[in-house]
Amino acid sequence: MLDSLVKVTRIAVVVFWFALFLSLISVIPNPYGRYIVWLAGLVLLIHLLEYFLVRSRFTGPDAGKFSFFKTILFGFTHWLPLLKHSGRAAD
């Protein structure tokens, strides 16, 4: 269940970043393009905070799998499966 939710969310995030690109090159008209840009700024800020909050949970062999770029791009859909997998390995 979690895997399918992560996949669907990743697809939605990629579509959102593509919509941001389209709004930046003025394909999506205002006011919608402006809303997408503001929302993208908010999402980037949240993902940046998320990176710093979750990074401390990854130590040892799993630390190399935790990526700044993937966290900024995908957010929790990057680190949640890693965290779930490392939790299984600890059990």
pLDDT for 87:
62
Q: How many CB atoms lie within 10 A of CB 52?
A: 10
Domain residues for 24?
2-90
pLDDT < 50 positions in the chain: 89-91
Helix, strand counts (H, E) of the chain: 4, 0
Domain count across the chain:
1
pLDDT, position 60: 63
- Other CB atoms within 10 Å distance of the CB of residue 60: 8
